[in-house]
Amino acid sequence: MIPFGAIAAGVLAANRRGQQGDAASLNVAMRFLVATFALLFVILAFQQHLPFVQVPMLVASVAVVPLLFFPAFTLSRVVVPLGLPRLAHAVARLSPPVASSAEMRAAAVFYGALAALRARSLDPETLAWLEDRLTHEVTLRATSLAAAGLLAAARGRPESARLLFAAVDALTWRTAPRAVRRVARSWLVADAARRGDFRLVASLGRGRGSYMRWPWLMGAIAERLIGAPRAPSDAVLYFAWIAAPHRRATWPMVRRALAAPRGAAGDPARAREGAGDPPLDPLGAALRAHAASLGAPSEAALLAAGRAWDAARDAPATNALIARRALALEARSSVDAVFLRLVESVERDLEVPAARAPAHIVATSPTLAAAASRARQRDLDEIDLIAKRLTRRTAQKETLHVIEEWMEWSSLRRLCERVLRDADASVHRAVFTSIFSGTCNYAVWLFNVRGEKLLGNTIFRWLLAVGRGVADEAATKLLTKNVAAGHGP
């Protein structure tokens, strides 16, 4: 006789103790045995010619077997698209997908949050109910972080969702289920496209782990729009569009990408070819190019604005025009002071797009180079501030909620990677020297004292990658030993 009661009791006991790795194995075994028992019962009913049993059992088999053997498909293709968060939570709680069985409560909240975002209207009470269920999770791992990110997005907190999904996206495939990583990467790609950061879209879609169909398509579109040197051909773009989901929604962007010639946007040589004679009003031309770059941001528009301001700064007519305006307004400031404030305002406006643009484009314009330098210095100051805060919190044993700890680390990592992109070896070494000691001690504290082994191991891995890039042998040896300690159950 099969001990169904003992197996079910073991599952419940493991859940109560928080031993979700054991509960996952028992859950799979219980699911298989229940389905086998139901199948045998149906066969026996047909053999014994019991019509009053046959029809109900057939109906139950049709409903139960997909739920037991294909829970992920049932949730993602049936329950979630219907926009029923509480039903999705119940289904995932009773029969979680095998890949998410290690985080049963978090998996239920994850699918419930996905269903809430697909509903016709967001219900604040349902979101609060899901958040309350997430607080019962014992150990926060990839699925928990993704669930928190979905709830933050539903609550209208995009920056929190951005940090949480970036933390999930940085995890290895061993520590994050495929469905969770797909949701995190897709949200980050959609968010970057909404903000017009197509270079980030290209990096996410065609960079590390670029095997997901929709992010890969968006990355290919972004590469055509920014004029990347290795942008895909028209045939590859068509194939990616056919293979990816959401074809009707992405078709306008595909047409826009097909209309952009390969490698044309943001090419300094092409910009110089079309420059022509200098305009009669350099300041007016610079203001028009500046407004165009802010209204429709692209690398070509940014390069045009940078070159226009370079020409305006060097033109004698600009100083003469400012002098006439100052005289007409009876201004007391000197022409040089007024022009300096104008240049500083321009550089502040161009900081963000200049920081996103490739280095070979920024280097062709002194105005863009100055704007990118201002952005880099601001990021360096913020990195130093966060690193000092982590050092102080570690020394004082000042704890935050684990989700806030993940967000704190994700914020520091994002800033560092933004500064290190296209930077030379000296900048890499300066950043690593600034953050290594305090961040490593912080990760050790998380790993040994707070028991957040996955977060500590994630920090060790990232520091190890940066340390190898700057050839710091002592730090590399220490971090290699720390990474070998593992990421917990």
Structure tokens at 218: 């968006």
In this prediction, residues 352-369 reach a mean pLDDT of: 86
Q: Which of 262-266, 274-278, 474-478 has the lowest mean pLDDT?
A: 274-278
Residue 436 predicted with pLDDT over 90: yes
| pTM, entire model | 0.79
Assess contact for 100 and 177: CB atoms under 8 A: yes
How many Å apart are CA 216 and CA 173, to the nearest integer?
18
Query: Residue 110, exposed/middle/buried by CB under 10 A (0-12, 13-18, 19+)?
Result: buried
Q: What pLDDT is attached to residue 463?
A: 94
Assess contact for 389 and 330: CB atoms under 8 A: no
Residue 14 predicted with pLDDT over 80: no
How many Å apart are CA 49 and CA 375, to the nearest integer?
78
**Closest to 222 in 3D by CA, of 245, 259, 193, 255:** 193
How many Å apart are CA 239 and CA 223, to the nearest integer?
15
Q: What pLDDT is attached to residue 51?
A: 57
DSSP 5-20: HHHHHHHHHHHHHT-H
* Per-residue pLDDT band at 46 (split at 50, 70, 90): low
Residue 25 predicted with pLDDT over 90: no
- The residue assigned the tokens 């050790």 is 444
Residue 464 predicted with pLDDT over 70: yes
Share of the chain above pLDDT 70, in %: 76
State whether residue 207 is helix, strand or coil.
Answer: coil
pLDDT tens digit sequence for 180-194: 999 999 999 999 999
In this prediction, residues 258-270 reach a mean pLDDT of: 64
Assess contact for 204 and 217: CB atoms under 8 A: no
pLDDT tens digit sequence for 309-339: 888 887 877 767 666 666 565 566 666 677 7
Identity at 182, one-letter amino acid code = R
Instruction: Please give the distance of CA 250 from its chain centroid, rounded to a whole number.
Output: 20
**3-state SS string over 59-90?**
HHHHHHHHHHHCHHHHHHHHHCCCCCHHHHHH
In this prediction, residues 362-387 reach a mean pLDDT of: 90
- The residue assigned the tokens 């199948």 is 39
